[in-house]
Amino acid sequence: MLDEVRRRVRVRHFSIRTEQAYVAWIKRFVLANGRRHPRELGAPEVERFLTTLATEGQVSAGTQTQALSALLFLYRDVLRMELPWMENVVRAKRSQRVPTVLSVSEVNRLLAVMDGRPWLLASLLYGTGMRLLECLRLRIKDIDFARHELTIRNGKGGKDRRTVLPRALLEPLQREIERARVLHAADLADGFGQVWLPHALARKYTNAGTDFAWQYVFPAVKRSVDPHAGIERRHHFDPDMLSRALKRARTAAGIVKPLSAHTLRHSFATHMLEAGYDIRTVQDLLGHRDVKTTQIYTHVLDRGAGGVLSPLDRI
C-alpha cells in the first residue's frame, strides 16, 4: 500500500518532502489503529486520530492539516474511497504569530562571523527574500547578471517569479558558478553529470540534463543516488549544513533571538518596507498570493508597536 502511495504522489509531481511526510502520517495512522488496513477503517477512525492530535498531542494547526491532507490523499487517491465530511474533527487553533525579524545590526553581525558557501547562501536569503529551497534549487540559467535579477522557478504554489540580485553578491556568485563548472566537468569526465529535471523535461530535452545551464548554482559536495530514478547524480547543497552554520553563527554573533534560514526572509521583507518600498512590490518579490500575507510585516511601520511613542517617553 505504501508503495502505491509513493507512486501516486510521484504521479502528482509532489516533492520528495511531501512524499516522506504523507508516508509517515499514514504509517502513524495505521499503528494508532492496531495495524488494521485503512480499508477496514473510515471517517470515525480518521476523526478520532485527528482529534487526538489536537487534544492530546497539542500539535499546531499546520501539523494537523498536513496529517489530514495525507489521510485524504490515501483514501481518495489511493484507495478510491470517499470520506463523508468530517465535521466532528476538533481542529487545532491556528495561531497568529508575528515573525522573528533581525535588525540590520544583527544581520551585519551574523554575516560577519560566517564564510564560504554558508555565508553566500545566508547573504542571498537576506538579499533576495528567497525561501531556503528556492535558493538551493537555483539553476545557472536563472541568474541574470546584466539585469541584476534572479528567476525563481516552481516556487511555492508552483509559481515562477523574479526577485532582485544584490550587486554586492555579483562576484561571489560568479566564483560559485565557476566552482560548479569545474565540478560538472569532472562529473562528465566520470560518466555522470545528469542533473535532475522537473516533470518531463528530461524526455522533452534529451541533452538538457547535462547542459551546464541547467546545473545547480550550489551543487552538493558529493554525488548521491536519486531516490526516485535510482540514478547517481549531483544534487544541491544540503540544507542541514546551512542550518548548522546559522546556529553556530548565531551563537558567535551574540544574537539571542531564535534564528533559522526563514528568519532572513522575514528580515528582507521587513527591511524593504522600512526602506519605503511599496507593499505590492514586496509582495511580488516574496511570491505571496495574497497581500494580506505580506501585511504581517507592517508591524514594523508607523502602524505597528515599533512606530508608537510610549507615554513614558513623553515625560
Q: Which residues are catalytic?
A: 131, 156, 262, 265, 288, 297
150 in Cβ contact with 138 (< 8 Å): yes
User: Which residue from 72, 32, 60, 36 is spatially nearest to 48, judged by alpha carbons?
Assistant: 32
231 in Cβ contact with 225 (< 8 Å): yes
Cell of 287: 511570491
User: Which residue from 177, 168, 167, 171 is spatially nearest to 217, judged by alpha carbons?
Assistant: 177
220 in Cβ contact with 234 (< 8 Å): yes
CB environment 47-83: b (16+ within 10 A), e (fewer): bebbbebbeeeebeeebbebbbebbebbbeebbeeee
DSSP state of 82: P
Residue 149 — φ and ψ, nearest 5°?
-145, 155
**How many residues in the chain?**
315
